[in-house]
């Protein structure tokens, strides 16, 4: 007999709460590394898009495009209830506050094996903080 299941995560950071062979859903809460004082890197997923939905609190999506002059930073202030798509290969990170909760949807094959981390230098961190 079938029934409806529900999932939650109340800890710091991100946890996948549902996964099948095609996609995964995670809950992403504030953690120190996503605070404006703790941001130190960007990541990108090379094969798949990633979707975020803000449900509580506030989040600034930081992203960067590669140019001849290095990374060019931009930001988007998330609005609750809207779906935000981060295209594959776009450098990004989230800056959140302690009461922030988001839903994350991505391909279940997304992993560090097909993703990259870019460690920011002090000048880049300052540029990102000015956007948040």
pLDDT in tens, 29-45: 999 989 999 999 999 99
pLDDT at 57 > cutoff 90: yes
What pLDDT is stored for residue 73 in this prediction? 96
Give the pLDDT mean for 55-76: 95
For residues 110 and 104, the answer to whether their CB atoms sit within 8 Å is no
Q: How confident is residue 93, by pLDDT bands cut at 50, 70 and 90? A: very high
Question: Does residue 51 have a pLDDT over 90?
Answer: yes
The CATH superfamily of 15-131 is Jelly Rolls (2.60.120.10)
Can you give the pLDDT at residue 17? 97
pTM of the model: 0.91
| Complete DSSP assignment for 43-84 | EEESS--EEEEEEES-EEEEEEEEETTEEEEEEEE--TT-EE
Tell me the domain boundaries of the chain. Answer: 15-131
Neighbour count for residue 94 (Cβ, 10 Å): 24
**Residue 132 pLDDT > 90, yes or no?**
no
């Amino acid at each position: 007999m079938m029934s409806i299941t529900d999932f939650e995560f109340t800890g710091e950071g991100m946890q996948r709460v549902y996964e099948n062979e095609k996609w995964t859903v995670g809950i992403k809460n504030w953690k120190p590394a996503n605070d404006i004082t703790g941001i130190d890197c960007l990541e990108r997923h090379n094969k798949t898009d990633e979707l975020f939905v803000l449900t509580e609190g506030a989040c600034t999506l930081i992203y960067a495009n590669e140019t001849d002059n290095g990374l060019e930073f931009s930001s988007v202030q998330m609005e609750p209830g809207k779906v935000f798509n981060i295209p594959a290969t776009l450098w990004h990170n989230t800056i959140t506050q302690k009461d922030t909760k988001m839903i994350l949807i991505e391909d279940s094959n997304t992993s560090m094996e097909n993703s990259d981390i870019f460690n920011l230098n002090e000048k880049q961190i300052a540029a990102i903080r000015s956007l948040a």
